[in-house]
Structure 1
Amino acid sequence: MEPQVTVNRTNVVTDIYTCYGIDNISYDLTSTGNPFVICVLLYMFLLLLSVITICGNLLVIIAIIYFKQLHTPTNYLILSLSAADLLVGLIVFPFDMTFTFSSCMYHENFFCKVRGSFDVSLSTCSVLNLCCISIDRYYAVCQPLTYKIKINHHAIVIMIKLSWGVSVLIGIGVMIIGKCEENCAINILITNTIAPILSFYLPVIIMLCIYLKIFFVAQTQVRSIQNTTSRSSESRGTVSKMERKATKTLATVLGVFLLCWTPFFLYLTFMPGG
């Protein structure tokens, strides 16, 4: 039998599962499972994910700040990425635990819009920082002679400011556009299509193109090294291993990235009603 949800705004029911704690609404859940157990498992999963995210990114931030030898342009981008992910663990996950499994499932209020704004802003910031890191790696691998000239501290500061500035603007825009009473077609178009394109799909296309270019250049460099070394079977085997390792590393980085972010932005794009 399909789970049924009955809403009655005239009665106040106090015996409600924890993650459905909404005043002045009663829910009649008919299911073979136990909603309370599901709620507890979801809270535990988000709590564990939050702790891992906070601890991992905090270690990265402390290491980069403390060790002076890590004060490089590339590591500053990694520092910015870790700061964005740290805020995801500190803000987004607790907000999701507080609102997503309670009132935001049934109606939206100001805090639900703030939660959504933080979700979009910080996830966009992570994606844009990763895009900046790919640009940094492109110049390091494909144009090493001009790398230090083009990717200096000034350029890194501009990249970081743009990543955070664009992310904040998109998050605020999503929250403002979300306030819609009637004729919301344009608002839904912007929230569900334009915002995900700017926040995720366009940066992903840029990153894919850049990393494919890096991969092809790296392959060319490996073949060049192979041609300048001896033709022994040992050297050919070493080069072959290098090529396989580069391929696996690139596939792993892009695969994990797409696996983590694609479901969220697909949901943001195709969720009913915006």
Structure 2
Amino acid sequence: MVETLESANCWIPLHNISCNPELGTPTAALIFILKWCLVALTVMSNLLVIVSISHFRQLHTPTNIILFSLAVSDLLVGLFVMPILTMLYGESCIATNQILCAVFDLTGYILTSSSVAGMVLLSVDRYVAICNPLHYSSMMDRRRVTITVPLCCWICPVCFNVIILKHHFSQLDFSHYCHHGCAQIKLDNVVLIIDLLLTFVGPVTVIISLYMRVFAVAVSQARLMRSQISAAGSNTVIVKKSEMKAARTIGIIVFVFLMCLSPFYSASLGGDVYSD
């Protein structure tokens, strides 16, 4: 049986000795409830962001357009990736077709790349707003951002991930069914390095560099405000404070996002996710 599944490129977790191990225990029930509560929280919170930005015209700003794209990708993760991940890699004994596994893998890769691209655009947006505020309205106008976001956050990730996963999909036998999971994703070493550079190392470097510059400028502006307070500059102070508050908030979001994303790429670097 094991040899048959291995020939079908099926991945079998070592801990899945039986179909439903200790499914009726309180711990398993609590984990099950927490999983689906997390799914519901992800869906509802991102749906709230999408509805709010779509409904209120005053929220149609360049920054919120980028946040809208991020919310859409996270909503799709909550609607499709997280439930399927729970079923395919959970305790249930499910026979899955390789077509479903391929769609799931491609969707996960695309949404991850889309989120990373959105975080990079948010960093660029805050960098321009803080470090070059006089040109912000011209460089980050709504029309330009409306074109850039679909191109960078959706079209490019789709094309890129279809290309890097093409060889993996060509090796699958879509007539077989897999038990306890999907086929292990296999990437060539060159493709693996390119993927890491374009979807993790490069974006993280850009984000950290931009935010270091943003907060350095924010600190210098705060010192300048304390030393040069005047009635004529009161409105400017209010605008700069709001911009810096937005930068701090988005900086925290980006930091948490990178902390959550790092374990996956750490595993891939260690050879646990990808293999030659």
Shorter-chain TM-score tier? 0.7 to 0.9
Measure, in 1, the Cα distance between the counterparts of 2:123 and 2:247: 16
Q: 1: CA distance between counterparts of 2:193 and 2:209? A: 22
- Structure 2 residue aligned with 1:46: 35
Give the match for residue 71 of structure 2. 82
- What is the TM-score of this pair, normalised by structure 1? 0.72
Residue number in structure 2 paired with 1:263: 263
Pairing 1:199-218 to 2, within 5 Å after superposition:
199-218=199-218
1:233 is aligned to: none
Find the counterpart in structure 1 of residue 157 from structure 2. Answer: 167
Identity %: 30
Instruction: Quote the Cα distance in structure 2 between the aligned partners of 1:159 and 1:66.
Output: 22
Alpha-carbon spacing, 1:94–1:175, altered in 2? closer, same or farther (3 Å): farther
Q: 1:224 to 1:170 in 2, by over 3 A?
A: same
Say yes or no: does 1:146 pair with 2:135: yes
Determine helix, strand or coil for the equivalent of 2:188: helix
Q: Residue 121 of structure 1 corresponds to which residue in structure 2?
A: 110
Q: Which one has the largest radius of gyration?
A: 1
Gap runs ≥5 in structure 1: 1-5, 11-21, 231-241
Partner residue, 2:239 = none
Identify which range, 260-269 or 77-86, moves more after superposition. 260-269
Question: Is 1:223 aligned to 2:212, yes or no?
Answer: no
Q: CA deviation at 1:117?
A: 1.2
Matched residue type, 2:205 = I
State the partner residue of 2:195: 195
| Higher relative contact order (CA closer than 8 Å, sequence separation 6+) | 2
The one-letter code matched in structure 2 to 1:179 is F
How much does 1:205 deviate?
A: 0.9
Tell me: CA distance 1:113–1:36, structure 2 relative to 1, closer, same or farther (3 Å).
farther
Deviation readout 1:171-216 (Å, 9 max, x if unpaired): 32343131365xxxx9332453321321222111111111110000
**1:192-246: CA deviation from partner (whole Å, max 9, x where unpaired):** 332132122211111111111000011111111122249xxxxxxxxxxx9xx89
Q: Which amino acid aligns with 1:100?
A: Y
Name structure 2 gaps, 5 residues minimum.
6-11, 172-185, 231-241
Number of residue-to-residue matches in the alignment: 235
Alpha-carbon distance in structure 2 between the residues aligned to 1:134 and 1:217:
14
CA distance, structure 2, for counterparts of residue 7 and residue 211 of structure 1:
50
Instruction: Tell me how far apart the structure 2 counterparts of residues 77 and 201 of structure 1 sit (CA, whole Å).
Output: 21
Residues 127 and 199 of structure 1 are in contact (CA less than 8 Å); yes or no, is this contact kept in structure 2? yes
How far residue 147 of structure 1 moved from its aligned partner, in angstroms, is 0.5
CA RMSD of aligned residues (A): 3.6
Question: Does the CA-based 8 Å contact 1:113-1:178 persist in structure 2?
Answer: no
